[in-house]
Structure 1
Amino acid sequence: MIQKIYQFLNQNAVLLKFYLYFLYFLALLYFISHWKITKDILGLHLPAFIAVLVAFFLELIGFTVTVSQATIQLHGFAYRIIYHCSGLFLMIIYSSAVIAYPATVKEKTIGLLLGNPILFITNVLRLVMLGIVGYKYPQYFDASHEYLWQGIFIVFVIFLWMVWKEIFVKSEEIIPVSA
């Protein structure tokens, strides 16, 4: 029995190492993002910055928008951008997967420098779409926010990681050899 466990661990060492590193970096980055100093700074300024960007895009497409701190007002419909809606946690998941994957430092750097801005912009566009839904169909705002866009964004994070892995990672994958 012990030999079977050892053989399993040996055959799946690369995959298990990825999972352990992924969980380690996920916990580390999550802790850093929720550390009091970090959360006080990011929690105050990041939502307000995102609200300004969302308002900018809404105005580009013809809406009259008012922004007060992190609250966006659209003709009687208002919604507030909070720290947890900044997309930061999904960027942490993506970053953890990139860092944990067996790739070169250059490949990981490319993944982080391209992927995180793409996720940030995608989140801003998600919040723009939520503003439009809230303005035109306020009865669907909560469902759209909680279920539709959360699911779409999670799938997009996985898709983006897979695209990075397929396009930018040139190192050969290590395939376990069965004994």
Structure 2
Amino acid sequence: MLESILRYKSALGFVLKFFVVYIVLTFVYSLYLSNFDGEPDDITRIVANQTEAIIDTFGYSTTVVQHETEPTMKLLVNEAYVGRIVEGCNSISVLILFITFVIAFTGNLKNTLLFALAGSVCIYIANLLRIVVLGIGLYRFPEYEYILHHIIFPTIIYGMVFLLWMFWVKKFSKK
């Protein structure tokens, strides 16, 4: 048994570090969310407002309002309801997963912090643009809601996270 543990020490260390960091970050985020009983959290509101501003720059009349009965933000494009921006749309869960992997696949402290920050900014911006394009896409092509929302855009976001992870492992992590 001890021989197996020593043999797979680095893999076991990765898994242990991954779960500890993931649990801690998820717990902290859950504490943050517990402050918003029945209302959208501040990060979701910020993402919704940024979405509204960006879609407006493309010449659409966009409105984001708090949903009357849910902790979500309603997105209206040219007065047509196209969808809700929920807590899961704010990219924090994806960022927690991304940061957890980067920390678990250790590099030196400076590289880890810089890469986690730069990657998080890239993911946040990509997610924001995803919601913008999704909002416009749902307005113009509502018949493609399922493929846009459930296939194309998750593939883009998670594909980007995967590519960032691979870049991290190849260029910066301690092997």
TM-score with structure 2 length normalisation? 0.85
Aligned to 2:50: 53
* Equivalent runs, 1:93-172 vs 2, <5 Å: 93-167=97-171, 169=172, 172=174
Helix, strand or coil at the partner of 2:106: coil
Q: Does the 8 Å CA contact 1:54/1:128 hold for their aligned counterparts?
A: yes
Separation in structure 1 between the aligned mates of residue 107 and residue 154 of structure 2, nearest angstrom: 29
Helix, strand or coil at the partner of 1:103: coil
Aligned to 1:176: none
Confirm or deny that 1:72 pairs with 2:72. no
Aligned to 1:30: 26
Identity of aligned residues (%): 24
Using the TM superposition, give the Cα deviation of residue 86 of structure 1 relative to its aligned residue in structure 2, in angstroms. 0.8
Q: Does the 8 Å CA contact 2:138/2:145 hold for their aligned counterparts?
A: yes
- Going from structure 1 to structure 2, the CA distance change for 1:39 and 1:87 (only over 3 Å counts) comes to farther
Separation in structure 2 between the aligned mates of residue 172 and residue 34 of structure 1, nearest angstrom: 31
Separation in structure 2 between the aligned mates of residue 15 and residue 150 of structure 1, nearest angstrom: 28
Looking at CA atoms only, which structure, 1 or 2, has the larger radius of gyration? 1
Helix, strand or coil at the partner of 1:62: coil
Structure 1 unpaired stretches of 5+? 174-179
Q: Does the 8 Å CA contact 2:105/2:174 hold for their aligned counterparts?
A: no
Aligned to 2:70: none
Q: Does the 8 Å CA contact 1:77/1:134 hold for their aligned counterparts?
A: no
Using the TM superposition, give the Cα deviation of residue 40 of structure 1 relative to its aligned residue in structure 2, in angstroms. 2.6
Helix, strand or coil at the partner of 1:123: helix
- 39-48 vs 7-16, which moves further: 39-48
Separation in structure 2 between the aligned mates of residue 13 and residue 172 of structure 1, nearest angstrom: 14
Q: Runs of 4 or more off by more than 6 Å in structure 1?
A: none
Helix, strand or coil at the partner of 2:6: helix
Separation in structure 1 between the aligned mates of residue 56 and residue 104 of structure 2, nearest angstrom: 40
TM-score with structure 1 length normalisation? 0.83
